[in-house]
Amino acid sequence: MTFTVNAENKSFGGWHKQLTHQSSSTQCQMQLAIYLPPEASEQNKVPVLYWLSGLTCTDENFMQKAGAQKLAAELGIAIVCPDTSPRGEDVADDDNYDLGQGAGFYVNATEQPWAKHYQMYDYLVEELPTLIEQSFPVTDQRALAGHSMGGHGALVIGLRNPTRYTSLSAFSPIANPVDCPWGQKAFSSYLGDDTSKWRQYDASELMTDCQQPLPTRVDQGLADNFLVEQLKPEALERAAKKSDYPLQLHRHEGYDHSYYFIASFIEQHLRFHAEHLKR
């Protein structure tokens, strides 16, 4: 097997496994987790939901806090949670939480010192799904979901590769990174000053001109302290209106940016994806 299994735990009849492998895209060791539902076998392969986490997170946050395994077991869906960036002693980093290790933004960096390792877009679109499908009893039916920076990544990757996924969803995504401090800082560092490159990784820009839409659900808490300055769901809403994109945007009074919010609505997201994965 390409992967090294570092830990495994039985959960709701299935198995959670924490894995590492050497990545050709990021040129370093990558960590991830997979949850395989009880029915997954070589005779009965299951579809996969890829979950992309937010700033400062690892594969552990979603698996430990979202409470997704029970329903994933019932629905017969595997879940794959990659890390949020390359990591290691020789991997470029920054002292701030919103750049460098833990903050890959799911782009292919072109600027130094980031370009050598920060190729998260290629890693997630091509390398990781190929390895997962070669190593585990899963099909090539894939859905994408994520939170915050990971919501940005899920929407961007899905919008740019609509034939590879059945459906997209996001909690509190960075919806218009070219027009918010998090996105501007990351993109100028990873991609340089040419803002045309930035737009290739902006869900609102991509959705405005989308010709091949996917079923897409976004949930946003209205007590989120990042809502106005960083997340800007209204930009995504305007883009969907321009292209007649089938966006389901749900706003929730009182909910913040935390995993309490994610855990409250993860069932709706899993059922949303299951509807499309099982078609």
Q: What percent of the chain has pLDDT over 90?
A: 99
Residue 257 is a catalytic residue = yes
Summarised one tens digit per residue, pLDDT across range 99-119 is 999 999 999 999 999 999 999
pLDDT digits (tens, 9 = 90+) for 133-159: 999 999 999 999 999 999 999 999 999
Q: Domain map of the chain by residue range? A: 4-278
CB 49 within 8 A of CB 75: no
Question: Per-residue confidence at 68, pLDDT binned at 50, 70, 90?
Answer: very high
Q: Which of 25, 53, 148, 169 is catalytic?
A: 148
Supply the CATH classification number for the domain 4-278.
Answer: 3.40.50.1820
Radius of gyration over every alpha carbon of the chain, rounded to an integer in angstroms:
17
Residues 231, 247: Cα–Cα separation, whole Å? 16
Q: Report how far Cα 119 is from the mean position of its chain's Cα atoms.
A: 14
In the annotation, is 264 catalytic? Answer: no
Q: Catalytic residue among 83, 98, 202, 224, which?
A: 224
What CA–CA distance (Å, rounded) separates 77 from 92? 35
Residue 148 appears among annotated catalytic residues: yes
Share of residues in the chain with pLDDT > 70 (%): 100
Name the pTM for this structure: 0.97
